[in-house]
Structure formats: C-alpha cells, structure tokens
Chains A and B, each alone.
Chain A
C-alpha cells in the first residue's frame, strides 16, 4: 500500500561547503578579516607593506653588481632606468667583501681563517649533537664539503687541496665511525684555532697545552686525597709555574732545535667578521664555565666565596660594556709597564668574557632557583658529594631550564662585538664600513654595507636561536 508518496532511497550527494567556508576565502575570513578591528589592522598592514615595497623594490631591482665606483653605479642606473632613478650598488660588496670578512688579514693566507672556521664548526659537532651519529655526520660532512669548496676557491695548489681533502674527509669518517671521538678535536681546538689564526711558532701553543696537561695530571694524581677544589688549585699552581717561569725557555729551546711554524699575524690585521667571530666565539666558549662557577659561588655557604662572586657579578653588571672596552684599551695602557705589548684583541676578549660571564651567572642562577628542593635532597640522600651532585643532578636540570636565557646572552654577546668599533678595532658594522666609505670611489654609499653585514649577523643569530629551540625539544622530559 503506497501510503507514503515518496521515500528517499539513497543519500543526497554531498555538496561543497558554501564559498565563504572553504579555500582561500575561508582562510582570509578567519585569519585576516574575522572582525572589524582585525580588518582595519589587515588593511593598515597591507598599506605598510605596499609603501615599503614601493620604496625599496625599484631600488633593489636596479641593483648594480659590476662597477668600480659609486659614480659608475649611478651612471649605470641612470642609463638603464632613467635619470633620478636610484639603485643598490652591490659592486661595493663585490669589491670589498674580503675586508668585511677578514679585515686586513693577508690575502694569501685567507685559507687559515677559513680552515679555522670549518674546524670550529666540526669541533662543535660532538658538543651540539653529542652521540647522535646522523646529525653529527650531516653537520661535519656539510661543513667539510663547504670548507673544501672555499679552500679550493682560495688556493689553487692541488697538493694543498689533497691534504685538506684528506684531513676533512678523515674527520667526516670519524664522525661516521665514532662521533664521540671528535671530542678530541674539540679539546685541542682552542689552541689549534689560535695557532691557525695568529700563526707563529707551533711550540707556543704546544707549551700552553703542556701547562693544561700538567694541570689535569696534578688534579688526577691528588684528587683522591686533597678533594676536588684543592686538587684543582694545586693543578693551577703547577700550571701557572710552568706557564710563567718555565714555558718560555722550553719553547724557545724547542724552536731553536726544531723550528716549525708559519707566518705570524698580528692582531691589528684582524677585522670584519673574523674579529667578530674570534671575540664572540672565544667569549662564548669561556664565559659559560666561568658563569656556572660564579652562579654556584653565589649560592655557596662559604662567606668569602659568596661575597667575591656577588661582588664580581654586581660590579660587572653595573658597568656598561663600552666602559669595559675603554678600560681594556685605554686605561690598561697606563697601568701596564711601558712597551709591554699586551695584545689589544686579547685584552678585549678577556674583558668581554668576564662581562658576559656575570650575566650568564645570573641566568644560570635562575635555572638553579627553578629546581625543586627535593632534587638537592635526593642527591644528598644518594650519598653524592657536592661536585657529584652538581654534575649529575643539579646542573643538567638547571642548564636545561636556562637554555633560552643562555642563548639570548650568547646572541647579545655576539652582536655586542660590534661595539669594539669605539675603541678603534675594525668591527664589520662600523669599523670596516667607515674605512670603505672613506674611499673616494665609494664615499656617499649608505645602505648596502649595513644590509650586507646585517644579513650575516641575522643568519648567525637565527642559527643559534633555532639550535636552542631544537635543544629544548630534545631535552624536554616533562609531561606537560
């Protein structure tokens, strides 16, 4: 009985969502025009982007790469885009890039800073990616390949290239076979890098290395009866005696018996990013351990140590970096005996290190404060002594918490290296830019050097920032 007139026997086909609820329109509505206020903001944003592009794009489109002076750049732009047109004159970078990167480092020795940078990154691999074979090999392999390409562009002697290729290939193979073995390179890198950059007799860094070896030997030999602190102190005393009293005669003797070295470069030939990296990397590397010790000292129960650490931290944080730099270059000149040639770059590095160590100490103290008391008590309950507790329980957690702050301090420190311009060193941003602008051929140029230098700074700082985010992810053990 057909008492129902109509029965739907199949489902209607699905219809596409309305136009406002799909695709680009939906995205625009949700993200850019979701409310009157957001619509206004979007329109303002678009206007800003439009005006910026209107101002900058023609300038960028008219870029000139081949010219010998700003005047020639302008003529090329006028010829191609009509009079009154403006264009970027990258020819300046093309002609002077080596001064932005290396300062006054002798051109035929550019392979030394390039190799030093390559080895620096390779020696960082086991620190950045400890025990991770794939990441280590990727980093070491990429860096080795890039370094080799750079070296091939600088030096056309095939025998040299074969030596470099073998060495860098060997390091990549080590990263593949035993990534942790690369730590050996990390340990010797400070002296190796120093020797590569400054040159001179190989025996001077070897002498310094012997001092450190003595320090470690004395520490290991006496640790069991003297305790960590006294053993370290004893090691320092022995090493200091070696460095101050014995080393010079031994190294001069060795140098006389077996002269081995390469052309010495003085610090005043350093400049540009080479200088920024030397100061930045050394200060970053040295300030972390000093900062940790200062943070621990500040929490110490021993009045003397606590007072000294607090005094140091508060004093340094209360003084602007510029003051510290002027002290390093000017005031020390009065205090030191005349004719002492205490390298100005070294002076700046030492004071910048102390400066950032004080800031790091406070960052790390923040990390220490974030640890629940139970962690300290658990360490005590396990019967660990102070240093074991710090090394195994406290520091790994405190440092993990402090990573964003530590990396911020590092990034700030790296950018602050440009302040050395005020004491007459050739930093890339102001120092080299000033000398380049003083050339009659390039006087009057403004944005191009800033953009070039800024881009490199951005790349380095952005890299540090991304690595810190990766590290935070990797070390994330909580279950929030």
Chain B
C-alpha cells in the first residue's frame, strides 16, 4: 500500500516535471540565465580559473548558447557535475543543457531518455607508454600492467580490446586522473589508458614529456557532445544549431575579429542568413535574428574555440584530427543553413 502510494507520487511528479520541461527555451528566457551542467575539472575542456570563471572548450559552447539565446555570453551559470550526478541533474531539470564530455551511446539515448544533439569533440581511447618500454603499437602490450580509472566505459573498452587481440593485461584501477598519472609515473603500470585528449593533457604536464609516447591505436569511439532532455525538440534544435553556426562560421572564415567586416561586406547568401542579415532564421528557432551572430561573437568560431583551449598553441597541443572540418578531412560537418 505504502509502496504504491510512493510510486504513484513518483509517477505524478514525473508527469508534472515532464510537462514543465516542455519549454526549456522559454524557461531560459524567463530566467535570463542559462544553466549549463559542466565538468568542474577537465583540463582544456571545462574548469574554473583563478577567478572562478569557467574556461575551456566545453565551457565556450555553453557561453555561445547563452549568447544565442540571451544575447550575452556571460549570462550562464555553470553547475559542476560529477559523472554520477550528470544525467540525473539533466533529467530532473536542474540544468538546461549538459556539456560535460559525455559520450553519445545507444543506451543513453534510449534508456536515459536523453538527446545528444551534436558532437563537439570526437574522442577515442588511447594508450600512453614510456619510450624506453620499446613498444610502438598497442598490440604489443601483451602482459602489460595498465592504469585505468574505475567505473568508466574505458574499462570495458580495454577488456574488449585485449580480448580481441588474444592478449592479457593486468589492470591497476585508480580513482581519478591525478592518481592514474601518479601511478604511471611511479612505474606501477607500464601503460596509461584514457581518452586521447586526456592523454595529451597528462603528457604535457609531465616533467619529461619527450620520454612518453601516445600509441597510434585508438580503440574506441567517444563522440562527446551537448545533451538535452528527450522531447524538448525546440530547445534541442537551438543547441544543435548554435553549434552548427560555429562550424559554418569556421567553414566560411568568419572569426570573432573579422565578423563586423564580413557583416558589412559579404555577398554570400548563407553568411547573410547566418548573421541575420537576410530572412527570419533566428525567429524561426524562437530566437533573435542576431542570435547566431552573437554566438560567434562570444568566443569565435569552432576552430578558434578549439585553438584557444586545446589546440596546437596550448600546452595540451591536440591536433584537429577527426575534429577538423569535413573540407579538411575531418568529421565536423554542419547541415546547410537555409
């Protein structure tokens, strides 16, 4: 009896909450602030700086969305989420959008009732080893000890990879990235595995980065992207097209610096539509016509965001790789803006 009342209440609140989430866009506008679920500590992707302001590749996308919806990239509140709390926080409406290096998977789409609306970073799991180990391919790691974080998909990928290659390994499970680095440097394990972007960031922090190599094999697909709740398509479209606008801006060579100039001189109809000079494209999405212009002005186009936070000029020094535009051999491809 008690249980059924409990479940009934749960169901009722779920229905209520579901109904109230129908218009995240309107909620955000009414609130005057975007609430973005973020990782509080992932080098290059999202972390507060010394002044407590979130910076990074993922954080910049949050700011761009805030600029598109509210016209001001600073009208965003970052909610730090752990990997355990992130999806619940999104589902319960605590955050409007989750941009926390979350991998798009089948079960997250269906089971958790979430929508991955874009892929802002194509990542994959890799290995790092010390140079003097004399290994040049992950397939030669038979019998190695491998440092790995517990409770992540990386653990499962690792098991699959070694099984496929009929080789064995000894896992050394650690709680977080800092522990993994420490164990790897202390020689507790021969290889350190995590997402390739994380490996690059770790390597850059070592006292002797030149003595460590990241092996060429990428053993998993980790498409990371912004997540919204299932069933709120208008809001999902806003997030998706804000991201697309940043891609198109890079494709068309529009940067934060030259935007005003392009706006004045462009003859390209797609650019005109994107910047809100022609047609009512912003209004179509329930936004202002200058929305996507504001999004680009927030932190620049996709390429600029990449370069500023994780690109070759930063200590992390990631190459564009899969994240190059489709015109340059990468996977970043935005649907046409028309």
| Minimum distance in angstroms from B323 CB to a CB of chain A | 19
Known: A333-B93, A434-B41. A440 touches B316 (CB 8 A): yes
- Whether A444 contacts B17 by the Cβ 8 Å rule is no
In the complex, A392 has a CB within 8 A of chain B = no
- Whether A424 contacts B82 by the Cβ 8 Å rule is yes
Provide the residues of chain A in CB contact with B336, threshold 8 Å: none
In the complex, B174 has a CB within 8 A of chain A = no
Within 305-360 of A, Cβ neighbours of B (below 8 Å) are at 326, 329-330, 333-335, 337-339
- Whether B205 contacts A431 by the Cβ 8 Å rule is no
In the complex, A422 has a CB within 8 A of chain B = yes
Chain A interface SS verdict (over half) = helix
CA gap between A219 and B51 in the complex, in Å: 49
CA gap between A369 and B9 in the complex, in Å: 42
| Minimum distance in angstroms from B8 CB to a CB of chain A | 12
- Whether B50 contacts A95 by the Cβ 8 Å rule is yes
- Whether A443 contacts B50 by the Cβ 8 Å rule is no
Known contacts A337-B13, A438-B43, A446-B178, then 14 further A-B pairs from the complex at CB < 8 Å, ordered by chain A residue: A99-B50, A334-B10, A422-B84, A423-B82, A424-B79, A424-B80, A435-B40, A435-B47, A437-B177, A438-B40, A438-B41, A440-B204, A444-B205, A446-B182
Instruction: Choose from B43, B81, B94 the contact partner of A333 (Cβ within 8 Å).
Output: B94
| Minimum distance in angstroms from B99 CB to a CB of chain A | 15
In the complex, A268 has a CB within 8 A of chain B = yes
* B residues with CB within 8 A of A: 9-10, 13-14, 16-17, 20-21, 27, 40-44, 46-52, 77, 79-82, 84-85, 88-89, 92-94, 176-178, 181-182, 201-202, 204-207, 314-316
Provide the residues of chain B in CB contact with A444, threshold 8 Å: 181, 202, 205-206
CA gap between A103 and B80 in the complex, in Å: 13
In the complex, A365 has a CB within 8 A of chain B = no
CA gap between A222 and B31 in the complex, in Å: 46
In the complex, A151 has a CB within 8 A of chain B = no
| Minimum distance in angstroms from A435 CB to a CB of chain B | 5
**What residue of chain B has the Cβ atom nearest to residue A103's Cβ?**
B52
Known: A339-B93, A422-B84, A424-B40. A104 touches B48 (CB 8 A): yes
- Whether B182 contacts A338 by the Cβ 8 Å rule is no
8 contacting pairs across A/B (C-beta < 8 A): A334-B92, A335-B13, A434-B41, A438-B41, A438-B43, A439-B49, A440-B205, A444-B205
| Minimum distance in angstroms from B240 CB to a CB of chain A | 24
CA gap between A423 and B89 in the complex, in Å: 10
In the complex, A96 has a CB within 8 A of chain B = yes
CA gap between A433 and B182 in the complex, in Å: 15
CA gap between A23 and B52 in the complex, in Å: 58
- Whether B89 contacts A333 by the Cβ 8 Å rule is yes
In the complex, A139 has a CB within 8 A of chain B = no
CA gap between A104 and B10 in the complex, in Å: 35
**What residue of chain B has the Cβ atom nearest to residue A339's Cβ?**
B20
CA gap between A269 and B79 in the complex, in Å: 10
Provide the residues of chain B in CB contact with A99, threshold 8 Å: 48, 50, 52
| Minimum distance in angstroms from A466 CB to a CB of chain B | 33
**What residue of chain B has the Cβ atom nearest to residue A431's Cβ?**
B40
| Minimum distance in angstroms from B83 CB to a CB of chain A | 10
In the complex, A361 has a CB within 8 A of chain B = no
Provide the residues of chain A in CB contact with B52, threshold 8 Å: 99, 103-104, 269
- Whether B16 contacts A338 by the Cβ 8 Å rule is yes
**How many chain A residues have a CB neighbour from B under 8 Å?**
36
Known: A96-B50, A438-B41, A444-B206. A333 touches B92 (CB 8 A): yes
In the complex, A202 has a CB within 8 A of chain B = no
Provide the residues of chain A in CB contact with B20, threshold 8 Å: 338-339
Provide the residues of chain B in CB contact with A421, threshold 8 Å: 82
Provide the residues of chain A in CB contact with B10, threshold 8 Å: 334-335
CA gap between A335 and B17 in the complex, in Å: 9
- Whether B77 contacts A268 by the Cβ 8 Å rule is yes
CA gap between A104 and B47 in the complex, in Å: 12
Known: A440-B315, A444-B202. A422 touches B43 (CB 8 A): no
CA gap between A367 and B279 in the complex, in Å: 78
In the complex, A426 has a CB within 8 A of chain B = yes
Provide the residues of chain A in CB contact with B42, threshold 8 Å: 438
Provide the residues of chain A in CB contact with B81, threshold 8 Å: 424
Known: A333-B92, A424-B82, A426-B40. A435 touches B50 (CB 8 A): no
In the complex, A114 has a CB within 8 A of chain B = no
- Whether B43 contacts A443 by the Cβ 8 Å rule is yes
**Max chain B Cβ within 10 angstroms of own Cβ: one of A326, A425, A435:** A435
Provide the residues of chain B in CB contact with A363, threshold 8 Å: none
> 1/0 per residue A434-463: CB within 8 Å of B?
110111100110100000000000000000
Within 207-228 of A, Cβ neighbours of B (below 8 Å) are at none
| Minimum distance in angstroms from A192 CB to a CB of chain B | 26
- Whether A435 contacts B84 by the Cβ 8 Å rule is no
- Whether B201 contacts A443 by the Cβ 8 Å rule is yes
Within 188-237 of A, Cβ neighbours of B (below 8 Å) are at none
| Minimum distance in angstroms from A132 CB to a CB of chain B | 42
CA gap between A70 and B52 in the complex, in Å: 20
In the complex, A74 has a CB within 8 A of chain B = yes
**What residue of chain B has the Cβ atom nearest to residue A441's Cβ?**
B315
- Whether B176 contacts A440 by the Cβ 8 Å rule is no
**What residue of chain A has the Cβ atom nearest to residue B88's Cβ?**
A330
| Minimum distance in angstroms from A95 CB to a CB of chain B | 6
